[in-house]
Structure 1
Amino acid sequence: MKLRLGLSAFLLIAGVVPGTGPAAASTTADEVAVSPPVMGWASWNTFAAKIDYNTIKAQADALVSSGMKDAGYNHVNIDEGWWQGTRDSAGNITVDTAEWPGGMPAIADYLHSKGLKAGIYTDAGRDGCGYYYPTGRPAAPGSGSEGHYLQDMLQFQRWGFDFVKVDWCGGDVEGLDPQSTYRAISDANKAATAQTGRTLTLSICNWGKKNPWNWGAGTGAMWRTSTDIIYYGQSATLGQVLTNFDQAQHPVSQHTGYVNDPDMLTVGMPGLTDAQARTEMSLWSVSGAPLLAGNNLATMSAATKAILTNREVIAVDQDPRGLQGVKVAEDAAGLQVYAKVLSGSGKRAVVLLNRTPAAATMNVRWADLGLTPAAATVRNVWGASNAGSFATGYSVTVPANDSVLLTVQGTDAASASYPATGSRFTGITAPATGLAVATFFYTATATQPATLAVNGQQPTAVAFPATGGTPKTVSAVVSLGKGNANTLTFSGTPPQLSGVSILPLPGTHGVQVVGAQSGRCVDVNDNGIANGIQAQLWDCAAGPNQTWVPARGQLVVNGTKCLDAYNSGTANGTAVVVWDCNGQRNQQWTLNANGTITNAVSGLCLDASGAATANGTKIILWACGGGANQQWTRR
């Protein structure tokens, strides 16, 4: 699992002065703001491949006249359909100038003249999505960039584009490796920038294949974590919105301007009620996700415009600390509380999400958010109203299949501070296994990339912005193990680090499940989130893929996945997998006093297959026999 830095709004460090140990507290002026998630509009949901200069111009004009640009929507992204795969004798992309008068530089120039940024689209493979899934135009062979990565990135930059979305239809059909392919595209993009001096933001769109949250940071600015919410012509549903939201929950991967992307918004598209659209906006905002509208801006309703341009909601999404919200409570199945640590001291955004068919009173506890029990002020964001001041927590009735978005201003709980030893922090203590906010103090004369590893989890690329020669801070959500053996290590070219402050988020706390025989932990391979991944043994690193939250007899990992006896099996050797939590008995486990863990359907014991102890040993069910491979401790 990986740990990722997001830039911080300043937390009080119970202190570390550069290089020395405990010292002075600091103020919010010390934060460095991260690059915010992209905001704008993209053409696919409404127009599919049926686009041309006039279509894009009309939407750009509507973006400006509607007030969306003033609210922060500054990208206009041209998706599939602008190009039919044609190239000249030198291999340069050519377009139909009847559809694009003046070629692609003309539309980029027009967007820039409106104060907007211009986005364009291609595929990682030889043939793009317009070949495999023609929508509004005939199949277009050759509409991908494979074999032309540097040439195409140079051409996009020279045309004046600011953003490129690289899809995966051709790459998927060809069986390309996502990680190495997108790194090659990223390298080509950087090489093009070295020639042109322009910056082209790279959006990775491989639908979550090969878990891009493990490697996306530093490769692109954003990476898709799932399939599309809708395909062209479909109506949006709240169920699919929630599925995409669930699959984008990788808080340790989101930092320093790198973000998880659950797909374009469907606000204003057929199928969603206004209340459901507000829920989508709330969830995207607490996630710090890109806000790319996909509706027809020229014909949208006043209600849709009001939802998309709500400044308080947008401020939550664009918060300069750059962290992703995390699930901090689920007191009853389907009643979920998500919280995002915001810039400044003691400020949180909270979404209370009721996935059930009945209205419910839902609670948010200050302790779960990393706040003291002292009185905190609560604001209902969509209601634009102050609820008042409350000690210990707040309760509100949430309608069925609906949500409430709050901001809370309280007092941060005590944090612990540690000095840097070079580029390393050791002996970091956590009261329980789970997530915390790490705020790093550093000094950098120029933007410096580095790689962060936590306890041997999946490392992540981190961008430290220049500080002007004075100490500043950035933050990351990190996953720590219970005890004092946690280590944070930077490699590459980190800046001068002086200290770190650790603020636990108790609502995320769970346990590592450790085999008595192996000393290794029950683990979800490669931080995967697909249903059916078989649990395994792996070296304990306290990552999110090894943090199991006991809840209503279940063992929950990554927020919405439960340890599951596959297909409710009752035979010896039944695979133990992860699956969407559903409350069924094959996801119910008894943690016995003798160290065994038994399944409610079969009564069989959680077992390290074949009494093996190596990394990768599969977890199965077997008749309880008292062996050490069926003994587990929780820490």
Structure 2
Amino acid sequence: MPFPQFVPRARRLCRAVLVRTAVLATAAGALVGLQHQGSVDLNRAEPVAVTSNQIAVDPAPMGWASWNTFAAKIDYNVIKAQVDAFVAAGLPDAGYKYINIDEGWWQGTRDSQGNITIDESEWPGGMSAIADYIHSKGLKAGIYTDAGKDGCGYYFPTGRPAAPGSGSEGHYEQDMLQFSKWGFDYVKVDWCGGDVEGLDAKTTYQAISDAVAKASATTGRPLTLSICNWGKQNPWNWGAGMAAVWRTNTDIIFHGNSPSWDSMLANYDTNVHPTAQHTGYYNDPDMLMVGLDGFTAAQNRSHMNLWAVSGAPLLAGNNLSTMSTETANILKNPEVIAVDQDPRGLQGVKVAEDTTGLQVYSKVLSGTGKRAVVLLNRTGSAQNMTVRWSDLGLTGASATVRNLWTRSNVGTFATGYTTSVPAKDSVMLTVTGGTEASSSTYEAEAAANTKGGSAADATCANCSGGTKVGGVGNGSANTLRFNNVSVGATGTKVVDIAYTNGSGAARTALLQVNGQQATTVSFPPTGSWTTPGTVSVQVSLAKGSTNTLTFSNSSAWAPDLDAVQVRPLPGTNGTQLVGRASSRCLDIDNNTITNGTQAQLWDCHGGDNQTWANVTSRKQLVVYGNKCLDAYNRGTTNGTKVVIWDCNGQTNQQWNVNADGTLTNVNAGLCLDASNAGTANGTKLVLWSCNGGDNQKWTLP
């Protein structure tokens, strides 16, 4: 059947004020103006990025998990008692809904058909009975397995004998279907076996994700997937669209240890992937330690503050049967929970650190002129700390500040707010009523396009910089590209995406920014094809007007996508360091955050892994908000690797920016050098005696 001609709507006219440039490659069935259920609807409302209809995305999971208190020593009676205590404490009314059974429920046994078998002396009625009990309380039930053949209960037995065969490898579809038939709503898939076996995490979890989707379709019960591979192989690069959540680090504590301020902060510091978290997909820095022995009430509150400003899953792990009223009240603070569960679904980011250890984090909330703020004092003494509206992407207009733990407004302030923060503690605020900094809107413009068009089938003919692209016949179908997106500084920006989705389910598109890792964006239903809505993502853009945002979808079931609005977050601004000889950027490979990762050259794309804060007062070059460019092991000889490492203030992490374009390491007195005068992608960076070569000269645009 031939494709009908796509006719642009009358309102899709180039408007000189709004449109910078946008390029559309489309036909009936392409990303913009897609037909739904086989026909093109030319009467859909025109989406606009400035619509106030912010569509709520799926929130991060909230609930309780068994591991932190009980490890593998669990059975029906243990879980039932915790369910009863969970309800009695009022946690469901606060938004907590999952009861997740972690490792220890199964010892790896299967029947002759490969189905999991259960010790019914511990689980009377099998696992469906405990799932039914959880559901009888109006809650959702979660279960646990491993991606490998032998799970964590084999490699790290805790309270039970080593359990060979306690993973799901070779049984992904069978096990996910069995979990769903038992009545489970959530499955956490660990990585002990996968890690030991050297499995590829992305392909392994894709197979598990496919099995989860198939099981959900078979039973009609949605099964939420939680990836738990501890941040190995960088799941923030590929987790979105595959799972609802993915772990970004190892456990905060291993069984038998008490939580500490430092261990909690270590996991928070690795949860620095704001461009990966959006539209219902979440970074997971691990289960909550709130209420466990070893944490004070103040530390519990700070723990909640940091997880909430991150928008992280809130999965309590304390013994609910013995929980104090103080702990319950901390877990149930409605204003802190509201920040975590904000319908926009974004991750908070660091926006200031004027003095080492005094850090300001902010999360963009739904609505206009609304931010959550955490003032984190990592030092050993009380300090006055300031949040500036300008760092938050707000203008100098007055805004109201509210303390979320005293649950009271503290006043209205013109340009910022200063308060004292105790040692090793934090203050959590909301800032409301501020005026958003100016934004830029980029709108798609459609031209007629038919299947098999040869070359210039789509163009924004009346717009500055309009570009011709191929049609369906040469592979550009289902692609929408916004070119020449302009920003004043390299760093994280908020992008609101206007669309309509009149179907009854979320639809997805792949977003790629410049040459960065692509990410799957979910577009929930807007209510009808005539009702526009907006979802938000955070992207890292390069200074200038050469940025490109490309949306693509290989299926005909895509949202009707039309415009984007780009807003600054000035507190995240940094710079790219461009090699004079190579014209390539100082880069950390594959968005890796591991200490000791060697810096390299790569094509400039403005990603988080190429955005460096030049902290001149400390002579530091900082990436990801907390990793410093470092001369490995304080080396002072030619060839010393230049790596990233947790910022520690040592001189091997200090750099002099010289007038001739060189960067010299303060400790070594040597220059930052592209090894062997290399200019290719992947060329490693080292220290070398300064020699005036262009491979030692850098531009900070």
Q: Check whether TM > 0.5.
A: yes
Q: Does 1:429 align with 2:490?
A: no
Q: Does 1:291 align with 2:314?
A: yes
Q: Does 1:118 align with 2:141?
A: yes
1:441 counterpart (495, 498, 504): 498
The aligned residue for residue 476 of structure 1 is: 537
Would you say the 8 A contact 2:145–2:187 is kept in 1?
yes
Kindly provide the CA deviation profile for residues 546-599 of structure 1, in whole angstroms up to 9, marking residues without a partner as x. Answer: 000011210000011000011111111111000000010000001111111111
1:626 counterpart (657, 682, 692): 692
State the SS of the aligned residue for 2:278.
Answer: coil
Q: Structure 1 stretches of 5 or more lacking a match?
A: 1-16
1:346 counterpart (369, 393, 408): 369
State the SS of the aligned residue for 2:418.
Answer: strand
Q: Does 1:414 align with 2:438?
A: yes
1:168 to 1:18, Cα distance in 2 relative to 1, 3 A: farther
Which AA in structure 1 matches 2:421? V
* Equivalent pairs, count: 619
Which AA in structure 2 matches 1:485? T
Shift of 1:20: 4.6
Shift of 1:400: 0.6
Which AA in structure 2 matches 1:408? V
1:19 to 1:290, Cα distance in 2 relative to 1, 3 A: farther
Which AA in structure 1 matches 2:514? N
State the SS of the aligned residue for 2:320.
Answer: coil
The aligned residue for residue 513 of structure 2 is: 454
Q: Does 1:490 align with 2:551?
A: yes
Which AA in structure 1 matches 2:621? L
Which AA in structure 2 matches 1:278? R
Shift of 1:301: 0.8
Give the Cα–Cα distance (whole angstroms) in 1 for the partners of residues 90 and 612 of structure 2.
Answer: 45
What is the root-mean-square deviation of aligned Cα atoms in Å? 1.3
The aligned residue for residue 600 of structure 2 is: 536
Kindly provide the CA deviation profile for residues 27-53 of structure 1, in whole angstroms up to 9, marking residues without a partner as x. Answer: 775111000000000000000111111
Greater CA drift, 462-471 or 380-389: 462-471
The aligned residue for residue 584 of structure 1 is: 650
Kindly provide the CA deviation profile for residues 448-487 of structure 1, in whole angstroms up to 9, marking residues without a partner as x. Answer: 1111000110001111112221111010111000001111
Shift of 1:420: 2.3
Would you say the 8 A contact 2:51–2:498 is kept in 1?
no
1:231 to 1:100, Cα distance in 2 relative to 1, 3 A: same
Which AA in structure 1 matches 2:351? V
Would you say the 8 A contact 2:661–2:699 is kept in 1?
yes
The aligned residue for residue 510 of structure 1 is: 574
The aligned residue for residue 610 of structure 1 is: 676
2:73 counterpart (50, 60, 73): 50
Give the Cα–Cα distance (whole angstroms) in 2 for the partners of residues 310 and 266 of structure 1.
Answer: 16
Kindly provide the CA deviation profile for residues 257-281 of structure 1, in whole angstroms up to 9, marking residues without a partner as x. Answer: 1000000000000111000010000
State the SS of the aligned residue for 1:59.
Answer: helix
Which AA in structure 1 matches 2:206? R
Would you say the 8 A contact 2:342–2:366 is kept in 1?
yes
2:122 counterpart (99, 111, 118): 99
Would you say the 8 A contact 2:49–2:498 is kept in 1?
no
Shift of 1:445: 2.3
State the SS of the aligned residue for 1:190.
Answer: helix
Kindly provide the CA deviation profile for residues 77-110 of structure 1, in whole angstroms up to 9, marking residues without a partner as x. Answer: 0000001111111110010111111111111111
Give the Cα–Cα distance (whole angstroms) in 1 for the partners of residues 546 and 67 of structure 2.
Answer: 49
Give the Cα–Cα distance (whole angstroms) in 2 for the partners of residues 631 and 29 of structure 1.
Answer: 47
Would you say the 8 A contact 1:335–1:355 is kept in 2?
yes
Which AA in structure 1 matches 2:414? A
Kindly provide the CA deviation profile for residues 415-470 of structure 1, in whole angstroms up to 9, marking residues without a partner as x. Answer: 11111256121111111000110001111223211110001100011111122211
Shift of 1:189: 1.1
Greater CA drift, 412-421 or 612-621: 412-421
Give the Cα–Cα distance (whole angstroms) in 1 for the partners of residues 254 and 171 of structure 2.
Answer: 28
1:555 to 1:124, Cα distance in 2 relative to 1, 3 A: same
Give the Cα–Cα distance (whole angstroms) in 2 for the partners of residues 401 and 536 of structure 1.
Answer: 35
Q: Does 1:554 align with 2:620?
A: yes
State the SS of the aligned residue for 1:461.
Answer: strand
State the SS of the aligned residue for 2:279.
Answer: coil
Which AA in structure 2 matches 1:365? R
Which AA in structure 2 matches 1:451? L
Q: Does 1:522 align with 2:586?
A: yes
Give the Cα–Cα distance (whole angstroms) in 2 for the partners of residues 542 and 326 of structure 1.
Answer: 17
The aligned residue for residue 470 of structure 2 is: none
State the SS of the aligned residue for 2:391.
Answer: helix
Shift of 1:19: 6.6
1:18 to 1:87, Cα distance in 2 relative to 1, 3 A: farther
Give the Cα–Cα distance (whole angstroms) in 2 for the partners of residues 146 and 18 of structure 1.
Answer: 51
Would you say the 8 A contact 1:18–1:441 is kept in 2?
no
Shift of 1:156: 0.3
2:303 counterpart (270, 280, 289): 280
1:258 to 1:26, Cα distance in 2 relative to 1, 3 A: closer
Give the Cα–Cα distance (whole angstroms) in 1 for the partners of residues 251 and 645 of structure 2.
Answer: 21
1:146 to 1:26, Cα distance in 2 relative to 1, 3 A: closer
Would you say the 8 A contact 2:106–2:166 is kept in 1?
yes
The aligned residue for residue 209 of structure 1 is: 232
Kindly provide the CA deviation profile for residues 42-83 of structure 1, in whole angstroms up to 9, marking residues without a partner as x. Answer: 000000111111111111111111011100110000000001
TM-score relative to the length of structure 2: 0.87
| Counterpart mapping for 1:555-574 below 5 A | 555-574=621-640
2:663 counterpart (589, 597, 603): 597
Would you say the 8 A contact 1:34–1:257 is kept in 2?
yes
Shift of 1:524: 0.3
1:66 counterpart (65, 89, 99): 89
Give the Cα–Cα distance (whole angstroms) in 1 for the partners of residues 502 and 167 of structure 2.
Answer: 39
State the SS of the aligned residue for 1:64.
Answer: helix
State the SS of the aligned residue for 2:321.
Answer: coil
The aligned residue for residue 372 of structure 1 is: 395
1:360 to 1:304, Cα distance in 2 relative to 1, 3 A: same
Which AA in structure 1 matches 2:516? Q
Which AA in structure 2 matches 1:612? G
Would you say the 8 A contact 1:19–1:497 is kept in 2?
no
Identity %: 67
Kindly provide the CA deviation profile for residues 509-534 of structure 1, in whole angstroms up to 9, marking residues without a partner as x. Answer: 00000001100000000100100000
Would you say the 8 A contact 1:354–1:400 is kept in 2?
yes
Which AA in structure 2 matches 1:442? Y
Give the Cα–Cα distance (whole angstroms) in 1 for the partners of residues 48 and 96 of structure 2.
Answer: 36
2:524 counterpart (452, 465, 478): 465
Would you say the 8 A contact 1:42–1:79 is kept in 2?
yes
Please tell me whether Structure 1 or Structure 2 has the larger radius of gyration of its CA atoms. Answer: 2
Give the Cα–Cα distance (whole angstroms) in 2 for the partners of residues 555 and 424 of structure 1.
Answer: 33
| Counterpart mapping for 1:64-213 below 5 A | 64-213=87-236
